Structure 1
Amino acid sequence: MPDLWLPGAEVHDLGDHAPTDQQYPPKAIAHITWDRNATAAAPQDWCTYEELVGYFTGSGAGDAPHLVWDPFSGRTAQLLPADSRSKSLLSPAESPTRTNRAGRVVIQIEAVFFPYCRYQGRVYPRLVDTPCAGWGRIHAWIASWGVPDVWPMGRPVDFSGHRDESVWETRGGWYAHAHVPFNDHTDPGSWPDLTAGGGTQDPPPSQQHPAPPGDTTPARYQVSINGLPYGYGAQGYQVTAVGQALVSHGFGDHYRSGPGPTWTDADTENYADYQGSLGYSGQAADGVPGSGSLNRLLGYLPGQRSVSVSHVVSAARTDPGAEQGHRTYGSEVAIVEQALVDEGLLEQRWVDGSFGSRTVAAYAAWQRRCGYQAGAADGIPGQASLQRLGAARGFAVTD
């Protein structure tokens, strides 16, 4: 099965996954964000990639695509896995298809661009006038999902609409937003050539300067997964979590003093050994995590150090009675578990994102340390005790 997540993309999983309608052929939909109206006579400053990612992971989540792509730098954020529908198309009740689902995959890409945007002092009338950095990587990944290199309704060259329900339902390939039935948008206006790169997968921006032949220095670049950095020089609790998980899985031979919160060459070498055990090879086993291997190692993807009281309470009430290893809110629970380890109340091997019976017992011990007794020390987090743990171990607590 192809990768659900574009290799090298910044993963911001929105959840809310839903299947597509498999009776239709696979498709990719080309969009531009068109967040400002500019003209040749009155260009406007480009709206940044960070702003658009923030929008689609916040108030605009209801219109989110699979990919948000910066054609100037090649940075790409992925919000939903390839096998889920996304939400960038109108799908009115009168449409014969659920447009966001009408294919074995319906992968939607939003290029962060509007006509006559001004970027670093230069004005770009069309998307194809930009560097289109990272396009080959995106194209190859989408091709791996069986999307043919054809435009059934023609490659977009202007902002006119052309919609044909019969073609939409029966032919796979690339579609402009301007081609999708029962939609009114006319973007993207232009799109990179599908033959550019010949389907080869150009490396993400962090890997565009590979080591020279014969160089045995471990990989020294970083990636961002779920908003956190990984790779040489990265710092944070997530680095410690990876190192400790590598050791517990038997991949700690390169450590001399054990894992810590700063990513070193030893972390890279150990992670490369782990990637090799999964069957990865070449650049895919260079010791810098991808979201797929990281999820397999930890059982969850770490997130920013913020914990919701209601989430961990739900986990503490649900996980112990569920199937072994069940994770209700894995990334947040793992933050609490690591804090309990750091307080000497839980063994490192039980940091797995599941608020099971051992975590409940460890949290009860923390509550007793805070002065609670009897039923008030039942292992179910409360606002006050969780805030004290967060203050002690450096994470934020929300309701």
Structure 2
Amino acid sequence: MPELWMPGAERHDVGDHAPTDQQYPPRAIAHITWDRDASPAAPQDWVPFDDLVSYFTGSGRGDAPHLVWDPFSGRIAQLFPADSRSKSLVDDAGGTRTNRAGAVVIQIEAVFFPNCRRNGRVYGVLTDTPCAGWDRLHAWIASWGVPDVWPMGRPVDFTSRRDEYTWETRGGWYAHAHVPENDHQDPGPWPDFSTGSPPPSQPPPDGEIARYQVTIGGLRYGYGAHGEHVTLVGRALVAAGFGRHYTSGPGPDWTDADTLNYADYQRSLGYTGAAADGVPGEASLRRLLGRLPGERPAVSVAHLVAAARTDPGGGQGHRTYGTEVKIVEQALVDEGLLDPAWVDGSFGTRTVTAYAAWQRRLGYTGSAADGIPGHGSLSRLGDAHGFIVTE
């Protein structure tokens, strides 16, 4: 079953849950908060995300949506679980129960009004913003069976169009301007389903921290992500000298400190703008960790042979292919053949001796058990300890 609470969203459960009307198809409703009236000639300052969350969880809870979305930073707050109705639509007594008419009726309020001014820049319509976080918002809603269609047309302006038969019979995405019994004209232009998969095309405005997520190798990274892979990234950042924003941790929850530290790391690699906003990309993550979490490490037979022939005579701690050697050394430790103190990346005499013991355990004798890895013995070790072997 899909998750009732969107992963990575800030949860502010306002209670008062109520079921939806399951005889209708699943749908999502797009709104903008439109909390101020502005014009190109007279723009007004954008109202902060936290102010709108406070409103919808306080005096405005009678109009609260499921999700409040900041399209500048990617922050998302969730107020109702997916299987409950929310309250952002007018619902005339005796008509279609607009807030409930669907297997799900997930309502999104983008924190935006036309011609809002943010950090000195004016944004005429929602799609002028970075639309940060749209990709994960869209993906979560799609997981609830809401199809990627606009039965009354994708909104491209502030024109109303309402047809109750279409509303009642077709699932998909609807603008507030499409819903029967309502008279609002929002949201205006809304991001396309194909956009938002990559990070934003521009960095967050000055002073803002990116708060969206990406999926790499099946794992989530970015604000709100959780898991041991997050701890792994944090520890790697500290080890690489990019941990100055941590006051505690790192830990399994991706926080703003992780984002700021990762942005420092990205800039050290030469990334700029949106590519250095602190949310990982696959290339930078692979460079930081050596491989992606969940990805089986690989060792080369040729590299291991070269190390086993070179390191013993190269002086204490000599490392020819240190990363690959450490993978094999750890496997030998797990087999009880090498002291953990010698997992140092150097295929020295103790590692040669331990590997020879592994070869003898497999039944090799004589020169076939000389401690120099071969493809067969190395593959057997890899199969037992989760690494793959290349030539």
State the alpha-carbon separation in 1 of the partners of residues 223 and 9 from structure 2: 17
Cα pair 2:231 2:252 within 8 Å, conserved: no
Deviation at 1:207, TM superposition (A): 3.2
Deviation at 1:166, TM superposition (A): 0.2
Deviation at 1:158, TM superposition (A): 1.2
Partner of 2:27: 27
Partner of 1:226: none
Deviation at 1:267, TM superposition (A): 9.5
Within a 5 Å distance, the mapping from 1:246-257 to structure 2 comes to none
Instruction: Tell me the amino acid that sits aligned with residue 124 of structure 2.
Output: P
For residue 101 of structure 1, give the secondary structure of its aligned residue in structure 2.
coil
Counterpart check, 1:207 vs 2:221: yes
Deviation at 1:203, TM superposition (A): 1.4
- For each residue in 1:277-332, what CA deviation from the matched residue of structure 2 results, as whole angstroms up to 9, or x when unmatched? xxxxx989xxxxxxxxxxxxxxxxxxxxxxxxxxxxxxxxxxxxxxxxxxxxxxxx
Partner of 2:275: none
State the alpha-carbon separation in 1 of the partners of residues 165 and 136 from structure 2: 31
Within a 5 Å distance, the mapping from 1:207-246 to structure 2 comes to 207-208=221-222, 218-220=232-234
Relative distance call for 1:198 and 1:146 in structure 2 (3 A) is farther
Partner of 1:56: 56
For residue 175 of structure 1, give the secondary structure of its aligned residue in structure 2.
strand
* Structure 2: gaps spanning 5 or more residues: 200-211, 236-244, 255-291, 295-391
Deviation at 1:197, TM superposition (A): 4.7
Counterpart check, 1:132 vs 2:126: no
Within a 5 Å distance, the mapping from 1:99-110 to structure 2 comes to 99-110=98-109
State the alpha-carbon separation in 2 of the partners of residues 218 and 13 from structure 1: 31
TM-score (norm 1): 0.53
For residue 109 of structure 1, give the secondary structure of its aligned residue in structure 2.
strand
Relative distance call for 1:164 and 1:9 in structure 2 (3 A) is same
Relative distance call for 1:37 and 1:168 in structure 2 (3 A) is same
Partner of 1:173: 172
Cα pair 1:140 1:199 within 8 Å, conserved: no
Counterpart check, 1:37 vs 2:52: no
Instruction: Tell me the amino acid that sits aligned with residue 107 of structure 1.
Output: I
Cα pair 2:90 2:182 within 8 Å, conserved: yes
Relative distance call for 1:14 and 1:220 in structure 2 (3 A) is farther
State the alpha-carbon separation in 1 of the partners of residues 293 and 8 from structure 2: 12
Cα pair 1:139 1:199 within 8 Å, conserved: no
Relative distance call for 1:169 and 1:122 in structure 2 (3 A) is same
Cα pair 1:143 1:199 within 8 Å, conserved: no
Instruction: Tell me the amino acid that sits aligned with residue 155 of structure 1.
Output: R
Partner of 2:241: none
Instruction: Report the structure number with the largest CA radius of gyration.
Output: 2
State the alpha-carbon separation in 2 of the partners of residues 265 and 207 from structure 1: 13
Relative distance call for 1:2 and 1:115 in structure 2 (3 A) is same
Within a 5 Å distance, the mapping from 1:354-393 to structure 2 comes to none
For residue 183 of structure 2, give the secondary structure of its aligned residue in structure 1.
coil
Deviation at 1:220, TM superposition (A): 3.8
Instruction: Tell me the amino acid that sits aligned with residue 43 of structure 2.
Output: P
Cα pair 2:65 2:79 within 8 Å, conserved: yes
Within a 5 Å distance, the mapping from 1:324-363 to structure 2 comes to none
Cα pair 1:31 1:188 within 8 Å, conserved: yes
Partner of 2:278: none
Deviation at 1:37, TM superposition (A): 0.1
For residue 99 of structure 2, give the secondary structure of its aligned residue in structure 1.
helix
Deviation at 1:217, TM superposition (A): 5.5
Cα pair 1:17 1:80 within 8 Å, conserved: yes
Partner of 1:46: 46
Relative distance call for 1:122 and 1:98 in structure 2 (3 A) is same
TM-score (norm 2): 0.54
Instruction: Tell me the amino acid that sits aligned with residue 232 of structure 2.
Output: P
Relative distance call for 1:265 and 1:29 in structure 2 (3 A) is closer
Cα pair 1:74 1:204 within 8 Å, conserved: no
For residue 82 of structure 1, give the secondary structure of its aligned residue in structure 2.
coil
Alignment identity in percent?
Answer: 68
Deviation at 1:265, TM superposition (A): 4.3
Relative distance call for 1:103 and 1:80 in structure 2 (3 A) is same
Partner of 2:289: none
* Structure 1: gaps spanning 5 or more residues: 222-231, 235-261, 269-281, 285-399
Deviation >6 Å, runs of 4+: none
